[in-house]
Amino acid sequence: MDSLWWFIAALALGIAEVFTLDLTLLMFAGGALAGGIAAALGAPLWVSILVAAGVSALLLFALRPYLLKHLRLRGPVAETNAARLVGMEAFTLDEITERSGRVKLAGEVWTARTRDDAPTLPEGVEVVVVEIKGAAAIVAEKEE
């Protein structure tokens, strides 16, 4: 009966992996599956937990980097969240300096800065996002 909970946990982690696509939860699902097999073979709970933790760690640190490397070789990985904004065009709302400024980026107002020692960008010009650092967009002059 204890093994059933391990298998349910493995299934839940496998389903959750579909939404993250990071391969982390899949490695934990493998650990839960191993813990379930140990429990089904009659191992006490503490042994099942150690087996699940050990297999999860092994999969996470040995198999996951290999899988991610080969997934990236097959084609570009779609960037998400703030990383997808790098390379997009923005419009300066204020003068942009190394320390301050604001841009309109993807329909939102973002705090913006230029790179160190870069020239100040005037208000009302189009720029390109070269990096996202924290909650600020690092921008540069758009090249025609």
Instruction: Take residue 26 and report the two structure tokens written for it.
Output: 């899949």
Segments forming the whole domain that contains residue 47? 2-74
Same domain, 94 and 58: no
Domain-ending residue, one of 74, 95, 126: 74
Which residue in 105, 34, 106, 22 sits closest to 64, CA to CA? 22
Same domain, 103 and 68: no
CATH code assigned at 90: 2.40.50.140
What's the domain count of the chain?
A: 2
pLDDT tops 80 at residue 131: yes
- How far apart (Å, rounded) are the C-alpha atoms in residues 32 and 40? 12
Instruction: Take residue 41 and report the two structure tokens written for it.
Output: 């073979």
Find the largest Cα–Cα distance for the chain.
Answer: 71
Q: What's the whole-model pTM score?
A: 0.54
- How far apart (Å, rounded) are the C-alpha atoms in residues 111 and 90? 11
127 DSSP β-pair partners = 90, 141
Same domain, 66 and 88: no
pLDDT tens digits, 83-120:
778 888 899 998 998 888 999 988 889 889 998 888 88
Which one-letter amino acid corresponds to residue 68? L
pLDDT tens digits, 30-50:
999 999 999 999 999 999 999
